[in-house]
Amino acid sequence: MANVYNKGDAVRLSATFTVGGAATDPTTVTLKVRDPSGNVATYTYALAEITKDATGQYHKDVSIDETGRWEYRWVGTGAVATAQEAHLLAQASPLG
């Protein structure tokens, strides 16, 4: 099943920003991640908390330390004003 991980996994969250089909860097890039308990962590490219892979392509590795539904939202502003949302599910390993 896609987007299902085990508690303890490191998950790479990625985003691609485009304008007219061409990869383009936003002026600012922000990622918000909400864990199953409702805690929200905010990461920015400006503070070097997000990695730029190529023009318009970014990622953040997140440690999944809790079971349940994790939600995340990428936001680009300025040159590329857009938002992308997704979620993943974390399950307990049957082996502990």
pLDDT in tens, 64-93: 999 999 999 999 999 999 999 999 999 997
Could you tell me which residues come within 8 angstroms of residue 70 by beta carbon, excluding any fewer than 6 positions away? 33, 34, 35, 36, 62, 64, 87, 88, 89, 90
> Of 44, 46, 22, 28, whose CA–CA distance to 82 is shortest?
28
Predicted local confidence at residue 2, as pLDDT: 65
pLDDT of 55 above 90: yes
Tokens at 62, concatenated? 């997140």
Q: What is the pTM of this model?
A: 0.92
pLDDT digits (tens, 9 = 90+) for 12-40: 999 999 999 999 999 999 999 999 999 99
> What are the CA-CA distances from residue 93 to residues 36, 65, 70, 90 (Å)?
17, 12, 17, 9
Predicted local confidence at residue 41, as pLDDT: 98
| Segment 4-18 mean pLDDT | 96
